[in-house]
Structure 1
Amino acid sequence: MKYLFTFLIAISSISIVTAQDYTDYIGAGHSEGITVISSSEEVGSEAFKTIDGAGMNSRLFETGRFLSQATMGADLDLINIVKNMDYGVWIDQQITEPVTYLQSEVEDIWEEYLDTLDSRGYEDPQDAFGPAMPELTSAWWHNNMVASDLIRQKVAFALSEMFVISSNSDLGGEAIAMAHYYDKLLEGAFGNYKDILSEVSLHAAMGYYLSHFNNPKAVPEENLHPDENYAREIMQLFSIGLYELNNDGTHQLNNDGNSIPTYDNADIKEMAKIFTGLGPGGINENVWWTDEPYFGLGTFGIDWTVPMAMYEDFHEPGIKIILKNDTIPANQLGLDDIDEAINVLFNHQNVPPFISYRLIQRLVKSNPTPNYVERIANVFIDNGNGVRGDMAAIIKAILLDEEARNGEYMFEQHSSRLREPLVRHMQITKGLEIVEEPGGRYWHNFDYDNSLKQQILFAPTVFNFFLPNHQPVGDIANSGMVSPEFKIHDTSSSINYFNAAYRWTRDWGELINSGRYFYNSDLVNDDGSIGGWDMYGFGETYIDYEAYTDLADTPELLINELDKVLTHGQLSDEVRQSLRDNLPNISWDGYEYGWERERVRTAIYLITVSPDFAVIR
């Protein structure tokens, strides 16, 4: 493995090299001497000039870059289709694609599980616990591998990191609740932002997660007051943020040069009154003691797919004054209070730049310029037809903006983004040729949450896996920039990613696999004993190395082919030269499947652990 160590040494000056067992974030005291930058300090690959038009097909690489922003991953077939189209036309086609829903897939997987239990003699399959996280993550992976509504899936993923609920809570056993909530984000991806805000506010999963489900009005004599959790987060995280903004996302300043808060504790208390009285909107089949939902019914008995209902007797009466001067009148229905409050938030001047900035971060770049933010904020304000909050128009504007599409911006210091672990893995899986598992379904159970600090709908808090303004100590912070994803890129997760990528590129290591374990009393073990843990739904997906072995004899061709789908023409001279130097060393037949296959595996591995793959421009 001399060639491997040579390569890792070669990229040490442009990558993040970690070998300590600390879990502190890079730059937090255990990374002295480590320089974190986006990639090579050179502006591009001198030998091939893939983006500026010389050498390889610049349109193909630009399309790969476009699809890396617009989708969860793209293979060469899709890149070739889209490169011959106007991007705006393709986006319009995507907007009309039918929604690939998550809940129905979770239910299908769960039914398969119960059928498996029944077929293997399990005494009472209906007593099985679930559906839960295994079904949720498997359904999400399957949908993202087969869905045709590619942009919608990417935007819903982005929204799930903005309107956070998490199965890293008591919702972990409620896959239907989580999936139905995610489906609302899928619908909202091309809907209206106000509708997203309303749907989220009334969803029982959010109500349970941020504790405005069964949240009663004040009873002062019992020292009982409305829960303020959701009231705070709907302002801080979902709409207006902490400080008054200009339309370009910069802070407004008072006469002393300080940022101006958007709300205070009094506003939180008033907003909390509005979100009282919400309770279960429906009951499920577990409820035998009542035919109707009622305020105070616990989550065991509720139908998660029905919006929370308003129970007027538990709703705070009287006038509510929010954001200092907007009055919600007394003596109206509780749902009318909520609708008016959401309308006030939706029409606040902060919302267009606040939301535009976050969507740009999730799709294109971590540090959009104020001009970029303002251009998108203007589309948020008016889609051209007098409509505010049109998500389809907003997403299209983000993806087609000059800062997203003009290659000249790529070489500016602020024009990059660290791909988060889920997105990196999905790009590998969707971008490369693969051998699909038997059974017609993709599964996944990789231990992301512990190893790479991320799993779908599994954020540690309502603040997501990372904050939009996170600045890792060092060069990024010193440059006045942010890099949210570096929050979960520490000495532990970075090494674990290297190990995961190595496993994905070995013959014994699959890209995707899964299966749910259950105790099978009829299982015959190897030693002849009866009873033990069995698995259903087992399937594996591997990289199809044979699709690339014809290129292995000429490393340059192999490198170029992988550059198309993994790094979109951004493979640096340093990484290219290291590959050129080391791949020819793999040239003998001592490998189990031949040296050609070993060259392919090694090239894929070394590119996927390179900074050129991790950081997209």
Structure 2
Amino acid sequence: MTMTTEISMTEPLEHSRRDFLRVGSLACITTAAAVAGFPQTTLAQSLSNIGVSVSVDQAARWLRFSTFAPLDSEILDVATRGYASWLETQMLLPQSRTVSDWVRLQGPPGFEDPNQLIAFTERVRAIDWKCVYAADQFRQRVTYALSNIFVVSTLSISAYICASFWDTLNKHAFGNFRELIEAITYSVDMGIYLTYMNNSKGDAASGRQPDENYARELMQLFTIGLWELNEDGSRKIDSKGHPIPTYSQADVTQMARVFTGLYANGTTYWGEKVRFGFTNFSAFSSELWASPMQADDSRHSPESVRALDGRVDIPAGTSCSQAIRKALDALFQHPSCPPFIALNLIRRLTCSNPSPAYVTRVSRAFVNNGQGVRGDMKAVLRAIFLDPDLLTPGTPRFGMLTPRYVYTMGAARRLGCFSNPLTQRVMSQYDHTLIGSQRPFTAPTVFNFNRPDFTTPELRALELVGPELENCDEYGASQVFTGLGHLCSNATLTPNLSLRLISADNDAALLDELSRRLSGKVLPDGDRSSLLSILRGIGRTQVTYQRQVLAAMLWTILIHPQNMVLS
């Protein structure tokens, strides 16, 4: 892996420069709005309320939550026109090149290489590229969070497997939650992973029952959770002081009937029409992977379905598509859905232990976007990222350990990281394995890389959870530290850096500059002094030694606890 590092200090934001950028950015967002069909009067009205003054440090901190890592230009942009305006611009940007197209064309825009054999690793590289280089950075960050809620994990049976699933999450990240769960339900990737593709109706003679996997996980992990919730995310309690389950095994059995009769819609790569029961997934064409599953009503359970205390009430003989629509509508309208999704998104994006008030505000945005629409993801994301708990540094118990893939891609984004600089391949599969990056679609179970309620004895005493800490045992931590060391040791020594590293007199200023660039903070005095003392003992006469100094600076910054924690 080669890493290029260009160092530049952010210049002071002169008043004239602010004005120029504000006018330019408003012109850009207005153009984007016109393309998207957004009402100009509504946009102008909303932007008239965006005049918040944001410092460079505040902008850098906020962008660490809303991107994989902030670039200098983005920090300047947010500092110029405020959080909300940047957020609106990002949500109006068109979806960048799909992962499926990236795989098919063997590269990102301008670096296509269609003469290569299409390999599974291209999907890995495509997602990496989008997270590092794509203009719609906020969409990619939200998509990664969604991929940790709607979990699909798979083997390398096809270069296109999970490519279209990332594209689906990408497409619906700023849409409506109801449309999102429908797209996920009909996804070929989800159908294979949770074993309901080719799921047939029950048969009394053979004793066959419909597969219950998706019915269970749809309720438990994707929509309403195990326990009925108040709007602040806390569990509802019955008269005996016990939490109230949202569903029972009987509900799972009933709901399993809904998800029968679905199969892959398309052809194999040799042109054969795929029919119900076809399981040679490696033969699926690229178009098939991207197409929603279709229903064979002759394989769909004809019985009536009654579940969730009558919330789901589907008459006998209802078609597969109509049964799915009714079931998803009921889950979408369930009172536990808004707080469950609010809590999950907050924990994946900003805070492991959100305050009840924070969850309440996001839940209410899910229920009503201000115009009577339920499930508007844009409204939910505005509520998450413009909440006072996030915007106020020092909010008690606020923050999270940065998810490992976010941190890895963030380092690549800030430093410019390539496995091949000529084709903008970001990292190889080997690099991901070495660093234990928890890249998308490699979770060990449907519960993802870690449990949302994981805690330690110390955190339990404070009634806190730390999901990402589940992987930070001795092995996990050493894997990350070693992998980051490998990344930093391959940093490209630019002429500018080489000149500055010739003398140890420049180390303090360079270390602070790098630290601000990578994390928005300067290392604590004690750690900073210790590192500078060690670096003084390294000779600078050879390029090799200069590389060692640079790598030591970068590695120390990246592995420092204050920088691995979003707060």
- TM class by shorter chain equals 0.7 to 0.9
Aligned equivalent of 1:614: 564
CA contact under 8 A between 1:216 and 1:316: conserved in structure 2?
A: yes
| CA–CA separation in structure 2 for the residues paired with 1:70 and 1:580 | 32
Whole-Å Cα distance in 2 between the matches of residues 369 and 163 of structure 1?
24
Residues 141-166 of structure 1 show CA distances to partners (whole Å, capped at 9, x for unaligned) of 12222200010000001101110111
Aligned to 1:589: 540
What is aligned with 1:601? Answer: 551
Question: Does residue 258 of structure 1 match 2:255?
Answer: no
Cα drift, residue 436 of structure 1: 8.9
Q: Which amino acid aligns with 1:568?
A: G
1:115 maps onto 2:115 in alignment: yes
* Equivalent in the alignment of 2:276: 295
- Residue deviations 1:285-307 (CA, integer Å, cap 9, x gap): 3244xxx4421122345422111
Secondary structure (helix, strand or coil) at the match of 1:407 reads coil
Q: Name the residue aligned to 2:365.
A: 379
| 2:17 alignment partner in structure 1 | none
Bigger RCO of structures 1 and 2 (CA < 8 A, at least 6 apart): 1
For the residue of structure 2 that corresponds to 1:505, the secondary structure is helix
Amino acid aligned to 1:361: R
C-alpha change, 1:435 and 1:334, in structure 2 (3 Å) is closer
Describe the SS at the equivalent of 1:321: strand
Is the 2:262–2:296 Cα contact (8 Å) retained in structure 1? yes
Q: 2:67 aligns with which of 63, 71, 79?
A: 71
Q: 2:171 aligns with which of 175, 180, 187?
A: 187
Given that residues 226 and 272 in structure 1 are in contact (C-alpha distance below 8 angstroms), is that contact kept between their aligned partners in structure 2? yes
Alignment of 1:460-539 (within 5 A): 460-471=444-455, 473-506=456-489, 509=490
Contact 2:94 2:136 in 1 (8 A): yes
1:583 CA displacement: 3.5
**Residues 401 and 566, structure 2, Cα contact 8 Å, conserved in 1:** yes
SS of the residue 1:604 aligns to: helix
Alignment pair present for 1:98 and 2:94: yes
Matched, 1:422 2:399: no
1:314 aligns with 2:294: no
**Which deviates more from structure 2 when the two are superposed, residues 554-563 or residues 421-430?**
554-563
Give the Å deviation of 1:547.
Answer: 4.5
The Cα offsets for residues 311-339 of structure 1, whole Å up to 9 and x where unpaired, read as: 11110112100212121122322101001
Relative to 1, partners in 2 of residues 1:544 and 1:492: Cα closer, same or farther, differing over 3 Å?
farther
Residues 1:485 and 1:585: Cα distance change in structure 2 (over 3 Å)? same
- Aligned 1:392-403 pairs, distance under 5 A: 392-403=378-389
Shift of 1:569: 2.5
Structure 2 CA distance for partners of 1:577 and 1:280, relative to 1, 3 Å: same
Matched, 1:241 2:225: yes
Task: Give, as a single letter, the amino acid of the residue that structure 2 aligns with 1:424.
Answer: Y
Q: Is the 8 A contact 2:300 2:320 kept in 1?
A: yes
Greater mean alpha carbon deviation, residues 75-84 or residues 190-199:
75-84
Match of 2:427 in 1: 444
Any idea what SS the aligned residue of 1:339 has?
helix
The letter for the 2-side match of 1:578 is S
Distance 1:114 1:435, change over 3 A: closer
Q: Which residue pairs with 2:8 in the alignment?
A: none
Q: Name 1:141's counterpart in structure 2.
A: 128
List alignment gaps of at least 5 residues for structure 1: 1-56, 117-127, 511-541
CA distance, structure 2, for counterparts of residue 388 and residue 545 of structure 1:
55
Contact 1:435 1:544 in 2 (8 A): no
C-alpha deviation, 1:435, in angstroms: 8.1
In 1: Cα distance, 2:238 partner to 2:275 partner: 48
Contact 2:431-2:483 at 8 Å conserved across structures:
no
Name the CA distance, whole Å, in 2 between partners of 1:594 and 1:500.
Answer: 21
In structure 1, the residue matched to 2:151 is 164
Measure, in 1, the Cα distance between the counterparts of 2:283 and 2:367.
41
Verify: 1:334 aligned to 2:320, yes or no: yes
**Residue 202 and residue 549 in structure 1: after superposition, are their counterparts in 2 closer, same or farther (change >3 A)?**
farther
Displacement of 1:274: 0.4
For 2:289 and 2:435, the matched residues in 1 are separated by 31
List per-residue Cα deviations over 1:252-275 (Å, max 9, x = no partner).
011121111100000000100000
Whether the 8 Å contact between 1:545 and 1:601 is mirrored in structure 2 is: no
2:257 to 250, 266, 273: 273
Question: C-alpha distance in 2, partners of 1:568/1:258?
Answer: 45
Give 1:496 shift.
Answer: 1.7
Report the CA distance between 1:580 and its aligned residue: 4.2
Q: After superposition, what is the alpha-carbon deviation per residue over 1:61-104, rounded to whole angstroms, capped at 9, x for unaligned?
A: 22111111101112223212222121101110001111122111
> Normalization by structure 1: what TM-score?
0.77
Matching residue within 508, 513, 533 for 1:561? 513
Q: Give me the identity figure in percent.
A: 31
Equivalent position amino acid for 1:306 in 2: S
Shift of 1:344: 0.3
Name the structure 2 match of 1:48: none
Give distance in 2, aligned partners of 1:142 and 1:87.
Answer: 25
- Which amino acid in 2 is paired with 1:78? E
Deviation at 1:179, TM superposition (A): 0.5
The 1:591–1:70 alpha-carbon spacing in structure 2 relative to 1, beyond 3 Å, is: same
Q: How far apart in 2 are the matches of 1:319 and 1:496?
A: 52
Q: Is the 8 A contact 2:147 2:441 kept in 1?
A: yes
Q: Take 2:54 and 2:380, find their aligned partners in 1: how far apart are those partners?
A: 27
Tell me the alpha carbon deviations over residues 338-390 of structure 1, each in whole angstroms, 9 at most, x when there is no partner.
01100000111111111111111111111111110000000000011111111
1:221 aligns to what SS in structure 2? Answer: coil
Q: 1:453 to 1:430 in 2, by over 3 A?
A: closer
Q: Quickly say closer, same or farther: Cα 1:287–1:616, change in 2 above 3 A.
A: same
Structure 1 SS opposite 2:306: strand
Q: CA deviation at 1:550?
A: 3.2
Matched-pair contact (CA < 8 Å) for 2:515–2:521: yes
Corresponding residue for residue 531 of structure 1: none
The letter for the 1-side match of 2:345 is L
Per the alignment, residue 152 of structure 1 pairs with 139
Q: Write out per-residue CA displacement over residues 94-132 of structure 1, whole angstroms, 9 at most, x where no aligned residue.
A: 01111122111111228977624xxxxxxxxxxx6x532
Distance, in Å, in 1 between the alignment partners of 2:493 and 2:363 is 41
> Following TM superposition, by how much is the alpha carbon of 1:570 offset from its aligned partner in structure 2, in angstroms?
6.4
SS in 1 for 2:115: helix
Let me know the Cα RMSD of the aligned residues: 2.3
Change (3 A) 1:293 1:429: closer
Read off the aligned partner of 1:550 and give its amino acid letter: R
CA distance in 1, matches of 2:282, 2:554: 47
Letter of the structure 1 residue corresponding to residue 122 of structure 2: E
SS of residue in 2 equivalent to 1:156: helix
Aligned CA distance change for structure 1 residues 352 and 219 (closer, same or farther; 3 Å):
same
> How far off is 1:177 after superposition?
3.0
Structure 2: how far apart are the matches of 1:436 and 1:310?
A: 43
One-letter amino acid of the structure 2 residue matched with residue 566 of structure 1: L
